[in-house]
Amino acid sequence: MKYIVTGGAGFIGSAIVWYLNKLGINEIIIVDKLGKTEKWQNLKNLKFEDYIDKDEFINLIEKNIFSKIDTIFHLGACSSTTEKDADYLIYNNYKYTQKLCEWALKKEIFFIYASSAATYGDGNFGFSDREKIIPKLRPLNMYAYSKQLFDLWALRNNLFDKITGLKYFNVFGPNEYHKEDMRSVVVKSYEQIKLTGKVKLFKSHKREYKDGWQLRDFIYIKDAVKMTIFLFENRICGIFNIGTGKARSFYDLVKNIFEALSLPINIEYIDMPKDIREKYQYFTQADMKKLKSKGYKKKLYSLEEGIKDYVLNYLETSNKYLGKEDEKV
């Protein structure tokens, strides 16, 4: 059997390929668009059968040239939360996903796709991955809305007993280097520290939060991948949060980077740009009861453990990419 990973050269997609390789699965078709980015470097340590451009791929599926496909991991998307081209986002993140899902269902191929925790918006309805909550959610940006559109379509068509959706929270770790401004705060803070010896964090514009104590559910890429593979191996359908269930502050995050580098903590607090203040999330925390109810019991990296592994075993080394021969799962 073969496996298709769209967005397979991207951050989470390439990590999925890495883990599949760990399981002895190399019959993988990578679907992506490399363009002028450095995403190609995410592939250099990985084993796969073929690479297909994403625009060519969506045309090829109509010609029935693919056979013996077991699973599609659809991780490909425009993930920029600041993208302004709404038509592009709807086509790329909604219509493309819809077309691929319909083809997978027709061919009886297991379909796993990436939704996003950004669909929860300001968190007024909490962070539960219960399907009945989906219509109530109000995303804060066009990227999140394009993801919400597919979740709503899948819900209307009663597909969550046939497909699997994943709401990834704040994922960080190796293979995200190409994402430019959409990289995690971990790698951006690391670069600031190496260059200037200090980190800049946003001041709080809400009385109930101290400067730097805005909270996020940060999950290490290796845990995000393990959760994804658990659902794949057990053929579990539905929509699921992929997070830790424990919100941590940006202060905690940068503190651990300084400690991993054996440097004194040095933080400068700056004003948050006015154009994002109304859309800024001060708190996210995945409700993980649903995944645990399906039997997921693997121990997670703590924020401290994840940052230490990322900094010392990737950012501070000459080989920064997943797939090194001595890699530990």
Question: What is the distance between the alpha carbons of residues 176 and 219, in angstroms, rounded to a whole number?
Answer: 13
And the tokens for 213?
């104590």
- Determine what percent of the chain is predicted with pLDDT higher than 90: 81
- Determine what percent of the chain is predicted with pLDDT higher than 70: 96
Annotated catalytic residue: which of 113, 120, 143, 321? 143
| Residue 33: exposure state from Cβ atoms within 10 A (0-12, 13-18, ≥19) | middle
The pLDDT tens digits for 256-313 are 999 999 999 999 999 999 888 877 889 999 999 999 999 999 999 999 999 999 999 9
Strands annotated E in the chain: 2-6, 28-32, 50-53, 69-74, 110-114, 164-168, 170-172, 199-202, 215-216, 218-220, 238-242, 248-249, 267-270
Strand, helix or coil for residue 248: strand
- Terminal Cα distance for the chain, rounded: 24
Average pLDDT of 229-247? 98
Annotated catalytic residue: which of 39, 179, 222, 255? 179
The structure tokens 């203040």 sit at 277
Question: What is the distance between the alpha carbons of residues 236 and 271, in angstroms, rounded to a whole number?
Answer: 44
Number of residues that this document lists for the chain = 329
Containing 149, the helix (H) or strand (E) segment is helix 142-156
Determine whether 143 is an active site residue: yes
> Distance of alpha carbon 45 from its chain centroid, rounded?
20
What is the average pLDDT score of the chain?
94
* Poorest-pLDDT segment among 3-17, 172-186, 219-233, 268-282: 268-282
Question: What is the distance between the alpha carbons of residues 47 and 164, in angstroms, rounded to a whole number?
Answer: 25
Containing 195, the helix (H) or strand (E) segment is helix 185-196
Check pLDDT > 60 for residue 248.
Answer: yes
Determine whether 88 is an active site residue: no
| Structural domains in the chain, sorted by start | 2-173+218-246+283-301 (3.40.50.720)
Question: What is the distance between the alpha carbons of residues 306 and 217, in angstroms, rounded to a whole number?
Answer: 13
The pLDDT tens digits for 114-171 are 999 999 998 999 999 999 999 999 998 888 999 999 999 999 999 999 999 999 999 9
> What confidence category does residue 326 fall into, taking pLDDT thresholds of 50, 70 and 90?
low
Strand partners, 6: 31, 74
Question: What is the distance between the alpha carbons of residues 123 and 284, in angstroms, rounded to a whole number?
Answer: 7
The structure tokens 């191929």 sit at 109
Check pLDDT > 90 for residue 109.
Answer: yes
Nearest CA to 72 out of 162, 157, 144 is that of 162
Main-chain dihedrals φ then ψ at residue 202, nearest 5 degrees: -70, 140
* pLDDT on residue 83: 62
Rounded CA Rg of the chain: 19
Q: pTM for the whole thing?
A: 0.95
Average pLDDT of 220-246? 98
